[in-house]
Structure 1
Amino acid sequence: MTENQPAGDGETDLSNECKELLSLPKERGWISLHQHQYQGFWCPTEIFQGIIAFQKHFQARDSDIVVASVPKSGTTWLKALIFAIVNRQRFEIKIHPLLTSNSHNLVPFLEVDLYRNNLVPDFSSKFPEPRLFATHIPFPSLGTIKESNCKIVYVCRNPFDSFVSLWHFCNKVRPQSLAPLSLDEAFDMYCQGMDVYGPFWDHMLGYWKESFKRPNNVLFLKYEDMKKDGVNHLKTLAKFLDCPFTEEEERNGVIEDIAKLCSFETMKKLEINKTGTFVLNMESKNLFRKAEVGDWVNYLTPMMEQRMSKVIEEKLGSSGLTFKGTPELADHVQQN
């Protein structure tokens, strides 16, 4: 969906199966007219059919690699890093696919790119092993992925920054015929758990808990930590994906080369990310704003800060999941 698309609720092209389910709770959407509550989370109407088709048809393989995330928490970056790590023997840095393709087009979303039109693609012929996919779907709704031994890499972000990034992004991609979401309205929706694929706390906790149950299958990453120490996180990623960097690769600067190739600065400057499109024909340039930690302080009032802190403490406080850059939260939340 681009800014020039006509407004709509996305329901006209849905299958009969999906239309029967649209009696589920409905609220104003972030990127479209409506979003629907399904299996405990909120999803835009346009994506609803893809989620159902994915759950019905997708057969996970133990060799699959799945990038999972809350929207606007570093998904574009993580896709690029994983694609570069897994394919580092296939492509030279100077002529790398990431220089001519957005990472979202190289690592497709299951529910949006592959199943949104209720199609059942021939995965075996289209995708080489290991197959690289992505999703924003919460862990409990992952279908056969939950039961497989595939690798899931999850990234989340300080909810303060994640909210501000989501608000900016959604207003850029909403059709012109729909009024923009005000900061106050979007913030209220976010704190009530009506964010895209949210509540954000349930989304995070699903993967957080699973990473402790199955550490060999689910790797839980934090955007802020990755920003602070990118090289060590690349090593962690490669080891988790069963393709660790060799000593020779480390000596030859392969890790640093990948970090630079996938950096925000590099990706934002690429022509493909200035003029190209990705899922739902959204413009790639809207993916790259600031990528800063702590930018939320320029947007949220003291009252908003207090409310968000209270939500985070109430919903995440007993889990041990904390975030750098959240005001005072780390002072009174203890690790289990």
Structure 2
Amino acid sequence: MILNAILVRSILVGAWSFVKSKLPPEGRRKLGTFLGRMAQKPLITSLVRWYDQRSVDAYLISFPKSGRTWLRLMIGRVLEKHLGLTDPKIMERILELETLAPLHPDVPKIRVIHDDEPEWKKPDELVQSKAKYKNAKVILLVRDPRDVVVSIYFEHTKRVGHYAHIMQQVDSLKQYAERIKPYEGDLHSFIHESVGSFDTLIRYYNIWEANRHIPKNFLLVRYEDIQTNPQKELRQVVEFLGVKSVPDEVIEEAISFASFNNMRQMEKKRTFKSDRLTPTDQQDQDSYKTRKGKVGGFTEYLNNEDIDYLNSKMEEHLSDFYQYKP
């Protein structure tokens, strides 16, 4: 019998709590020091990394600026209300999603990532295989590439400067550190860039289309479909995660909680105490994480020539799988 990740986590947490309860304070301190030293050993580090990856039940993956924060807040709110989760930092946990798992044995461990940090890479630098996801479920959230590229432009011109120094220190990004800085050109120039722009986005989508059979289970979610029918899409997502029998009123409340207007207000108030969901300038609407939240908003920023250019790229190179071809 193979134990699932949630059960294994519960056993380990319970065993650790039992051991700690039987030790005097000095004994707990010594054990903690010993384990801290052991954790620095290469073999232990490898085992921890292996377990960390294998313990993930599901990944929520997207190219940056595809509505991932919106979806993760809805998922987190459903889990909180449906399972009665309580914690002094419940809002921060809802935003992170993964840290909800220790609060209840029925909460799946959901890791939210962009996968491969594509916004700092050229198309041919993207990893082609998704084999590392073979033991987990994957939710791939996608959005019209034309809306994504406009949103990324504002992210790189209005927000990147506030966290670039942190990203530059990430091990997997150190070789791209010189690229991680605010973009100084205009939108027309940005859509033609070779790093992290439209060509990278199209390649990223195509790589995932070719690898969608790799994960244990795969679910494609389109931003536009959430906008059209959030009840249907959110229920599909939580059921895919293994969370069953969620009442309609919980779904509705989660949708209301993560509405654009409420997210904007929470961002202003720093409800989540996270720089991830904080405007860099409260007077500049384009500096908010919750910037527009519109379908087809690219038409407000791109001229006809630029739109024709992006349309031709999509028509020629983007997989039909996503149903975004103009």
TM-score normalised per structure 1: 0.61
* Equivalent residues of 1:230, 1:259 under 8 A apart: yes
Q: Which of residues 66, 73, 87 is equivalent to 1:80?
A: 73
Equivalent in the alignment of 2:250: 254
RMSD between aligned alpha carbons? 3.8
Change (3 A) 1:169 1:127: farther
Measured against aligned partners, the alpha-carbon deviations of 1:105-148 in whole angstroms (never above 9, x if no partner) come to 4448xxxxxxxxxxxxxxx9899752221111259567764231
**Preserved contact between residue 80 and residue 98 of structure 1 (Cα < 8 Å):** no
Report SS of the residue matched to 1:163: helix
1:96: how far off?
Answer: 8.8
Contact map agreement 1:274 1:284 (CA 8 A) in 2: yes
Which secondary structure state, in structure 2, belongs to the residue aligned with residue 72 of structure 1?
A: coil
Which runs of at least 4 in structure 1 moved beyond 6 Å after TM superposition?
A: 95-99, 124-128, 141-144
Task: Name the residue aligned to 1:284.
Answer: 278
Q: Tell whether the 8 Å contact from 2:267 to 2:277 is kept in structure 1 after alignment.
A: no
Residues 57 and 63 of structure 1: is their aligned pair in 2 closer, same or farther, counting only changes over 3 Å? closer
The residue type paired with residue 101 of structure 1 is E
Secondary structure of the residue aligned to 1:199 is helix
Q: Which amino acid aligns with 1:232?
A: K
- Residue of structure 2 equivalent to 1:15: none
Matches within 5 A, 1:20-31: none
Q: What corresponds to 2:92 in structure 1?
A: 101
Quick one: distance in 1 between partners of 2:267 and 2:304?
A: 39
User: How far apart in 1 are the matches of 2:93 and 2:294?
Assistant: 20
* Alignment-derived partner of residue 312 in structure 1: 314
Whether contact under 8 Å (2:62, 2:68) holds in the other structure is yes
Q: What is the distance in 1 between the residues matched to 2:225 and 2:88?
A: 26
Correspondence 1:183 to 2:187: yes
C-alpha distance in 2 between matches for 1:266 and 1:101: 16
- In 1, the alpha carbon distance for the partners of 2:158 and 2:92 equals 21
Higher mean C-alpha displacement, 139-148 vs 296-305: 139-148
Output the amino acid matched with 2:278.
Answer: S
Give distance in 1, aligned partners of 2:267 and 2:152.
Answer: 23
CA distance in 2, matches of 1:207, 1:313: 18
Post-superposition offset of 1:102: 8.1
Q: Which amino acid counterpart does residue 84 of structure 1 have in structure 2?
A: R
How far 1:274 moved relative to its partner?
Answer: 4.4
Instruction: Please list, as runs of the form range in 1=range in 2, the aligned pairs for 1:116-265 lying within 5 A after superposition.
Output: 130-138=108-116, 140=127, 145-148=132-135, 150-175=136-161, 180-189=184-193, 192=194, 194-195=195-196, 199-211=200-212, 213=213, 217-246=217-246, 249-250=247-248, 253-265=249-261
TM-fit CA distance, 1:271? 5.5
In the alignment, is the contact (CA less than 8 A) between 1:276 and 1:283 conserved in 2? yes
Which amino acid letter does the alignment assign opposite residue 227 of structure 1? Answer: Q
Q: Report which of the two has the higher share of helix.
A: 2
Instruction: Give 1:169 shift.
Output: 1.6
Structure 2 contact 82–250 (Cα < 8 Å) conserved: no
Distance in 1 of aligned mates of 2:89 and 2:143:
23
User: How far is the alpha carbon of 1:261 from its aligned partner?
Assistant: 1.2
Q: Report which stretch shifted further, 59-68 or 152-161.
A: 59-68
**Residues of 1 paired with 2:245 and 2:230: CA distance?**
14
Aligned residues: 244
Give the CA deviation at 1:277: 5.8
C-alpha displacement at 1:182, in angstroms? 1.6
Given that 1:216 and 1:240 are in contact with CA atoms closer than 8 Å, whether structure 2 keeps it comes out as no
Structure 2 unpaired stretches of 5+: 1-44, 117-125, 163-180, 280-287
Distance 1:162 1:99, change over 3 A: farther
Aligned equivalents of 1:82, 1:322: Cα separation in 2? 25
Q: Secondary structure at the match of 1:242?
A: coil
Identity percentage of aligned residues: 21
CA distance 1:96–1:209, change in 2 (3 Å): farther
Point out the structure with max Rg over C-alpha.
2
Aligned to 1:321: 322
- In structure 1, runs of 5+ residues without a counterpart are 1-52, 109-123, 324-328, 331-336
Higher-RCO chain (CA-CA 8 Å, sequence separation at least 6):
1
Whether the aligned pair in 2 keeps the contact of 1:207 and 1:220 (CA below 8 Å) is: no
Q: Are residues 1:64 and 2:66 paired? A: no
CA distance in structure 2 between the aligned counterparts of 1:155 and 1:83, rounded to whole angstroms:
16
Cα deviations across residues 66-113 of structure 1 (Å, max 9, x unaligned)?
A: 110010011111211222334433447xx89898438544448xxxxx
